[in-house]
Every structure is written in structure tokens, then in C-alpha cells.
Chain A
Amino acid sequence: MSTAVSESDFLLAHRGVGQDLGAWVVGIAFGREGRSVGFALGDGTVRLAALADIRADWTVVEAHRGAVLAACADGKDGVLTGGDDGRLMRVAPDGTAVELAKYGSKWVEHVAAHESGIRAAAVAKAVHIVSAKGETEKSLAHPSSVGGLAFDAKGKRVAASHYNGASLWFVAAKEDKPRLLEWKGSHHAIAISPDGTHVVTAMQEQALHGWRLADGQHMRMSGYPTKTRSLSFTAKGKWLATSGAEAVVLWPFFGGGPMGKAPTELAGGDGVMCTAVACHPQHEVVAAGFEDGLVLLVEIGSGKVVPVAPPGRAPAGNGVSSLAWNPAGTHLAFGTEAGSAGLLDLAKR
């Protein structure tokens, strides 16, 4: 499809705005307040755009002294970031940056937050739980460095992946003892299904591993040519969209799946690796980014593809590193390793 379409066929040309931010786009998060989006960069800044006017200048917020390593939507509004300067920062929708915690010379590599206000920051082997007020409530210890972090939909449990499995913690427990989900090997990206029944991790060995929490049933999802970096459940948890192959690979979490079921592969055929996925917050639509900078939308039911942004001009090193939807599902943002970024307003007019 890269040869069959022209620049104007891409949604970005008439529904969005592109920017060269000049540094690796590490993460993108839309504020839960619905007004702002933050692009967290390898140069330590967060670029804030206002959804009311995406073409207005984006604000440059100096958040970290080194690189931002992780970003997510903060509890109520704004963006939560962790950096290689050992700091956990909050960037408000007006661009004010506040240091919530500082963890010495260690990197803050993963962050997560829930709409209740609670936050989690992974620093080496520890996950620090930080309250809405910004106080560190507890520190949860793991056997090795944490590779990924996720809250469940209710904000009651937090899951952290690490070497030889993942740990699932009740955040408000009086006595902190995790449920250990064991599987040999090194686990990175982690996701909890929207209904809280499954935990899935991406592994060093180009495979996913899943646990059905009700009975501890293991799920192996393999066959990827590269490491999966991005995992995203569809709104109702029917599908798990993943990067790491030459197509968007979707595992069915219904009808007894994914055990014994083949995954559905969409938007493939160009021989280019998918590097990022983000499921629409309501519809069964996935945004996917590829190694060459291409961004597209694909409808799961029909397999219909809508091009969003064309492949980058640079032949290599411009892979899509981040993708995010706003909670209302009206805006989509993407960014690449080389620092190109795009923001689209897809609201019906």
C-alpha cells in the first residue's frame, strides 16, 4: 500500500498536524481532563499541545535533566513522567512541572497511574506507590529489575513484570505480599485485561506469556520475528493487539482463546515490522505504527485500513515509538524514534 497512496490520502494531511520534535518520542499521554496531550522526549522535555487548537504552538516543558524514560496520563489531569535523572515528575495541563519524588541516581523506568489518583513508579527492583497528594506510601520489592508496570482497570491491583515472571500486588493491602506469576525468562511490557482476569507480558524471547488469574492457566503466544514492545487490549478486552511482527497481531480473548487459537493478522504484507499499537478506547479499531514511520488505523472486524501518516523519509531509525488515543477516542497522537510526531483530530464534524 505504500506505493498505491499519495501524501494527501493520509489523514494527517487534512485532519492533523505534524511536528519535528528533534528527540526520541518515548511516550505520549493525553490528560484525563480532556484538554491536553504531552509528548515525552529523550531530551528531557515534555511538549504539551492543547486539543482545542492542535495547530497552536506546543509548549516546551523542561521536565527532566536527562531523558524521559516513561510517561502516562496522571490520575486526574496532566502527564506523569519518569526520567534517567531519578525523578518522578508531574506536568499539569498548564505546563507547570512538579517533582513528586527523587530516587537518587537510579532511573525511573516505568510509570503508571489510575484515575483514582494513585501512581506507581518502577525504579530498578522497586515499585514505589505514590498517593494523589504526592507522598510515597510504600515501596514494593521484586527479585530483579522491573520491566513493565500496569494498574488494573479499577486501580486496585498493580502488576510488575520482571525476570522469571510478574508480581501482582493489591495496592491497599495491609500486608504486602504479591501473587507471583511465574514463568522462566525475562519479561518486559505488561498488560492486564480490562476485566482484570488476565495478565500478559512480552518476553525477551520474542513471545508473549499470559496467565489466566482464575486458575493460573498459562498461555504461550509465540511466533514473533522481533521483540514485542507494545501490548494493547481492545476496549472490552475481546482482542489483544501486539507489535513485533510484519502485521498487527491480534490474539482472541474470547471463545476459549487465546489457547489453541491462531491470532488474526491485519495490515500486513509490506514486510515492515509493526513497532507500536494502541486500541481505540471504544471501538474495535487499532492504531498501528511501523518501523518505517507509517501509521494507520485498522478496523478489526472488516480488516479495513485507513492510512494516517506516511513512512518517514529517513530509511532507518524512524520507527514509530509511541501511539496514544485520548479517552474520548476523538484524538490520536504518534511519535517516532527520530522525533517526528503527529496529532490528529478525528472528531465527527
Chain B
Amino acid sequence: MSDTTVPVTVLTGYLGAGKTTLLNRILTENHGKKFAVVINEFGELGVDNDLVVDADEEVFEMNNGCICCTVRGDLIRILGGLMKRRDRFDGIIVETTGLADPAPVAQTFFVDEDVKRATRLDSIVTVVDAKHLSARLNDSSEAEEQIAFADLLVLNKMDLVSEEEAEAVERRIRAINPYAEIRRATKSDVPIEAVIGRDSFKLERILEREPEFLSGEDHHEHDSEVNSVSFEVSRPVDPEKFNAWMSDLLATKGQDLLRTKGILAYPGEDRRFAFQAVHMIADGDFIGPWKEGDARKSKIVFIGRDLNRPQLRRGFEACQVDS
């Protein structure tokens, strides 16, 4: 199934961070691939491509009345339209405005049946300006959300900062999202293979990357509202207990949980169970077997606001089978 779906890469980042420069770099590099590009109409620079679609960033609430359960109505329409001529491109790149919340974009790929059938979310790439990121983080929540959702962070404009400044910015990024890969860049000069075809949302690849900075209690950067916590348990996880706990958690705390990812060892099961959620919208399935000889430890990661670490830890630990 996944072989016939078209990969979609989402580019986020503040105005002026270098998002459009990265987009044009991807489009003009000689890689033999054709892309359809969805841009917002207030884009900073022109985009040079055969197939460019204007988006209106229409964020629609779903009918459950919850403010975090949203999709991008324009994307549903545009992706549906593009599928009618899918032979003309190999992938789709969606550029969002600087103020966009990535959650509705990501949720669209989990919720809409037509979008799910024809496309897959490849990854969310966030371009940040090394010089101005700290100021952005202090004055807006969108910048935090864009970092929290990123699978790849392009730390751009490195020529404008010192090594110490760069390290300080990376520390702030990792406090919010230790699972994203950070690529330093000047004029968005990252290789296209690093950006396209990451398959970050594939369940098989959930938590494949080790965190670059395990934010233990002692490392907390308290100036960030969004941060991450992760836990590991060694006894197998009871699927019923886990489902009950997770459904309740997502229903009550989902608005604050930006991304949740987990790999679970079920009792008597040789395959790993992979799980991910964007706010309240969850997706999970069995993936490949545990490696021979590896400890079958279950892991879970939360990226979000006001995370109650002891409570989350107790909740996850209580999902284990009785010893």
C-alpha cells in the first residue's frame, strides 16, 4: 500500500528564516525528481516550479467540538485535486506560513480517508534562524510548536552567529524536542536527501532515532513552555491497560500533548507495537520483530505543554503486566 502513496514533505518556519530558499534549493537541484508545491499566498519569494498551487490555510474543526481536533480543509481539497494527475510528480512539498500551527497539517494525514489512501506524510521540516530563534521563542507559541513538530530542524544563518550562540540555540531546541535531527546551514544549504524521503511518520521509524539530548529533570530549560519527557519500562505492557490509559490521557490532556510516540512490548508477542499521536489523534500497529537478544523494553515519549512528569511516569509504569 505505502509504495503507491505519494510522499508529502511539510516545510514550516518563520518568515525570513530561509524556508523559501530551502524550497527553491530542493526544486532546482538536479535530482531528476518532480515535485508539486503547495505554497501559501503570502509567500516571501517566488517559487520556480511547473506545478505550484496556492493554499488558503483553512483550518477546520472536526465535529467533536474539540479545539485541537482540526484539519486543513484546503489541503484535503488540493491533495485530492493533485491526485487526479499524479503521474506528473514524485512528491509533494507543502510550505506553510510562518504563523501556521503544524498540528492541523499533520492531523489531516491521519484523519481524512482520501488523503490517507493516496498520500503519506513524509516529514515535517522546520527552518529556524540561528540568530533570531531565541527572540521568537520568547514572543510566540507558534515557534515552539513548529520545533516540537519537527523531524528535521534546519538551523539556518549559521554565518551570523558564533559557536557559543549556536550551541545555546541548539540547547533550547533540544529542550523542546530532543528527537529531531538538527542540521546547521547557511543559506539553507542542506542536501536534499536529508530533507526529502525521511519517512519520519512511518510507524516502523518511530523512535528509531535516539534522542540527542535526554532532558532529565536536572537539564530542564524552564524558559520553554513546551518540552519533552520520555520513559522506559522493562516488564511487558498490557495492551488493555495501555489503551485505557492512553485513551483517557489523550481525551483529557490531548490539547497539551503535541506529539506522543511509543514502542511497546506486549506479553508473548514477538513483534514491536508502534504508536504515535498528534494531539488526540492516534495511530498504531505492529511493526517488525524485536531484535534477537535485545532487551524488550517499552518506551514512550511525550512532547507537549505542562507535562506532569511523575504522573505520566506512574501512568506508564502501571500499564506493565503484574510482576
Which chain A residues have a beta carbon within 8 Å of chain B's beta carbons?
Answer: 23-24, 26, 42-44, 66-69, 84, 105-107, 109, 124-125, 144-145, 147, 163, 184-186, 203-205, 226-227, 316-317
Contact of A105 (CB < 8 Å), options: B54, B112, B114:
B54
The total of interchain contacts (Cβ-Cβ below 8 angstroms) comes to: 65
Alpha-carbon gap, A125 to B54, bound state (A): 13
**Cβ–Cβ contact B63 & A205, under 8 A:** yes
Contact of B63 among A44, A124, A125, A185 (CB under 8 A): A185
B56 within 8 A of A: yes
In the assembled complex, the Cα of A69 lies from the Cα of B53 at a distance in Å of 14
A204 and B60 form a contact (CB under 8 A): yes
**Residues B56 and A145 in contact, CB atoms below 8 Å apart:** yes
User: In chain B, what residue has the closest Cβ to A185?
Assistant: B63
Whether B112 and A204, one on each chain, are in contact in the complex, defined by CB atoms closer than 8 angstroms, is yes
Please determine whether A67 and B54 come into contact, CB atoms closer than 8 angstroms.
Answer: no
Could you show 11 A-B contacts with beta carbons less than 8 Å apart? A26-B84, A42-B85, A43-B85, A69-B81, A69-B84, A125-B56, A163-B58, A163-B60, A184-B61, A204-B71, A205-B62
Minimal Cβ-Cβ distance residue in B for A68: B84
Bound: A24/B84 CA distance, A: 6
- Is there contact, CB below 8 Å, between B84 and A144? no
Are A145 and B74 in contact (CB-based, < 8 A)? yes
**Chain B proximity of A343: nearest CB distance (Å):** 21
**Which residues of chain B are near A124, meaning CB under 8 Å?**
56
Bound: A34/B276 CA distance, A: 55
Nearest A residue to B78, CB-CB: A107
Closest to A226 in B: B113
Distance, CA A205 to CA B60, complexed state (A): 12
Given known contacts A145-B56, A163-B73, A204-B112, A67 and B63 CB-to-CB distance under 8 angstroms: no
Is the CB–CB distance between B60 and A186 below 8 Å? yes
Residues on B close to A: CB < 8 A? 4, 51-54, 56, 58, 60-63, 71, 73-74, 76-77, 81, 83-85, 112-114
Contacts of B61 in A (CB 8 A): 184-185
A145 pairs with B73, CB closer than 8 A: yes
Q: Are B58 and A107 in contact (CB under 8 A)?
A: no
7 more A-B residue pairs beyond the given contacts A68-B84, A109-B81, A204-B73, with a C-beta to C-beta distance below 8 A: A43-B85, A66-B51, A144-B60, A163-B60, A163-B73, A203-B63, A204-B112
A82 to chain B, nearest CB (A): 11
Secondary structure class of chain B's binding surface, majority of residues: mixed
Q: Is the pair B81, A67 in contact by a Cβ cutoff of 8 Å?
A: yes
Closest Cβ of chain B to A96, distance in Å, is: 24
The interface residues of chain A lying within 8 Å CB-to-CB of B85 are 23-24, 42-44, 66-67, 84
Asked if A317 contacts B60 (CB within 8 A), the reply is: no
Closest to A205 in B: B63
Which residues from B are CB-within-8-Å of A185?
60-63
Kindly identify which residue among B54, B73, B76 contacts A106, using a CB–CB cutoff of 8 Å.
Answer: B54
Q: Are B84 and A227 in contact (CB under 8 A)?
A: no
* One of A44, A109, A203 near B77 (C-beta < 8 A): A109
Residue of B nearest to A42 (CB): B84
Minimal Cβ-Cβ distance residue in A for B85 = A67
Contact A145 B77 (CB under 8 A): yes
Residue of B58, B62, B74, B113 ringed by the most chain A CB atoms within 10 A? B58
Q: Closest chain A residue to B83 by CB distance? A: A24
CA–CA, A252 and B308, complex, Å:
53
Q: Which of A107, A204, A205 has the most CB of B within 10 A?
A: A204
Chain B residues contacting A227 (CB-CB under 8 Å) are 113-114
Q: Which residues of B contact A205 (CB under 8 A)?
A: 62-63
Contacts of B73 in A (CB 8 A): 144-145, 163, 186, 204
B60 to chain A, nearest CB (A): 5
Closest residue of chain B to A206 (Cβ to Cβ) is B113
A106 proximity list for chain B (CB < 8 A): 54
Q: How far is the CB of A301 from chain B (nearest CB, A)?
A: 33
Nearest-Cβ distance from residue A64 to partner chain B, whole angstroms? 10
Expressed in whole angstroms, the Cα–Cα distance for A205 and B112 within the complex equals: 9
B60 nearest in chain A by CB position: A186
In the assembly, what is the distance between CA of A145 and CA of B52, in Å?
18
Neighbouring A residues of B56 by C-beta, 8 Å: 124-125, 145
Give chain A residues whose Cβ lies under 8 Å from the Cβ of B112: 204
In the complex, the answer to whether B60 meets A67 with C-beta atoms within 8 Å is no
Decide: A317 near B114, CB < 8 A? Known: A144-B58, A144-B73: no
- Bound form: Cα–Cα A145–B75 in Å: 11
Measured in the bound complex, the distance between the Cα atoms of B83 and A68 in whole Å is: 12
**Contact status A317-B4, CB under 8 Å:** yes
Report Cα–Cα, A42/B56, bound state, in Å: 23
Min CB distance, B13 to chain A, in Å? 23
List of A residues within 8 angstroms of B58 by Cβ = 144-145, 163
Q: How far is the CA of A26 from the CA of B52 in the complex (A)?
A: 21
Residues of B within 8 A of A147 (CB): 77
Contact B84 A67 (CB under 8 A): yes
A104 to chain B, nearest CB (A): 9
The smallest beta-carbon distance between B119 and chain A, in angstroms, is 13
A316 to B71, CA, bound (A): 26
A66 to chain B, nearest CB (A): 6
Minimum CB distance partner of A143 in chain B:
B58
Docked CA distance A247–B61 (Å): 29
A106 to B62, CA, bound (A): 26
- Considering the chains assembled together, what is the distance between the CA atoms of A66 and B78 in angstroms? 13
With the chains together, A42 CA to B82 CA distance in Å?
9
The residue from B53, B62, B63 contacting A107, defined by CB atoms under 8 A apart: B53
Chain A residues contacting B83 (CB-CB under 8 Å) are 24
5 closest cross-chain pairs (CB), A and B? A42-B84, A67-B85, A67-B84, A24-B84, A205-B63
Instruction: Give the docked Cα–Cα distance between A144 and B53 (Å).
Output: 17
Which residues of A lie under 8 Å from residue B60 when comparing CB positions? Answer: 144, 163, 185-186, 204
For residue A316, which residues in chain B have a CB less than 8 angstroms away from its CB? 4
Distance, CA A316 to CA B117, complexed state (A): 10
Residue among B52, B62, B73, B83 with most chain A CB within 10 A: B73
Closest to B54 in A: A105
Report the Cα distance A69→B78, complex, angstroms. 11
